[in-house]
């Protein structure tokens, strides 16, 4: 049982680590447009994102897929930027609610990209483990719980801003997406220069 908690805690800590905030930034822009009344959709998005990066971890750990780390490190901020731009473009519009299948597919794909970013870290920590399947599942469960914590935090802040400080939903989306863009652009530039 201690092995379960080891990998579970590593997954939890990896997302909640302040030095690995790109994952948190993606989650912020992924759910910024939703409130507690949309909890089922938010749960689907977060779970699909987890499934995407768990699939990527699985494919990478078992060496079915190999991708250069530099490209993944560039694509991660691209996914954040694209999601933030989508938030800005659809803030206050009904376009966001028209095509769920595209949103879900994109979320899984972006999860795969982020999962490939986790793969080198996971390979390093699981190098001593004989079997990799269960540590991978335990790690993914830790990541899922961390994502739920982040998403709940974003939704609570959103609720407070919109219901206590009377910030419109549209303004909340625009401001949160703009802040994320401001943070991610230098990271994107640095990762592009590293290619």
Residue ranges of the domains in the chain?
2-193
Q: What is the dihedral of CA 73, 41, 146, 88, to 10 degrees?
A: 50
Is 2 a residue whose pLDDT tops 90?
Answer: no
* Residue 29 pLDDT class (50, 70, 90 cuts): very high
Global pTM value: 0.92
The pLDDT of residue 125: 75
Looking at the chain, the whole-number percentage of residues with pLDDT higher than 90 is 59
CA distances from 9 to 112, 127, 134, 140, 159 (A): 21, 17, 14, 10, 29
Mean pLDDT value across the chain:
90
Question: For 49-80, how does the pLDDT look when each residue is reduced to its tens digit (9 = 90+)?
Answer: 989 989 998 898 888 998 888 999 999 999 99
Question: For 123-175, how does the pLDDT look when each residue is reduced to its tens digit (9 = 90+)?
Answer: 777 776 677 888 888 988 998 899 999 999 999 999 999 999 999 999 999 99
* Residue 30 pLDDT class (50, 70, 90 cuts): very high
The pLDDT of residue 156: 97
Q: What is the mean pLDDT of residues 30-51?
A: 91
Burial of 112 (0-12, 13-18, 19+ CB in 10 A): buried
């Amino acid at each position: 049982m201690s092995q379960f908690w080891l990998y579970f805690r590593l997954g939890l800590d990896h997302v909640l680590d302040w030095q690995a905030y790109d994952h948190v930034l993606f989650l912020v822009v992924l759910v910024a447009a939703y409130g507690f009344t949309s909890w089922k959709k938010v749960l689907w998005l977060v779970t699909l994102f987890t499934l995407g990066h768990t699939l990527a971890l699985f494919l990478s750990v078992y060496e079915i897929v190999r991708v250069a780390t530099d490209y993944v490190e560039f694509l991660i901020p691209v996914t954040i930027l694209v999601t933030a731009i989508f938030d800005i473009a659809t803030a206050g519009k009904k376009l966001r609610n028209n095509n769920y299948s595209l949103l879900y597919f994109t979320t899984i794909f972006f999860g795969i990209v982020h999962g490939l970013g986790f793969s080198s870290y996971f390979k390093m920590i699981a190098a001593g483990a004989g079997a990799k399947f269960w540590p991978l599942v335990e790690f993914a469960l830790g990541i899922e719980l961390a994502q739920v914590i982040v998403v709940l935090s974003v939704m609570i802040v959103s609720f407070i801003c919109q219901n206590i400080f009377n910030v419109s939903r549209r303004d909340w989306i625009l401001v949160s997406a703009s802040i994320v863009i401001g943070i991610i652009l230098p990271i994107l530039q640095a990762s592009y220069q590293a290619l």
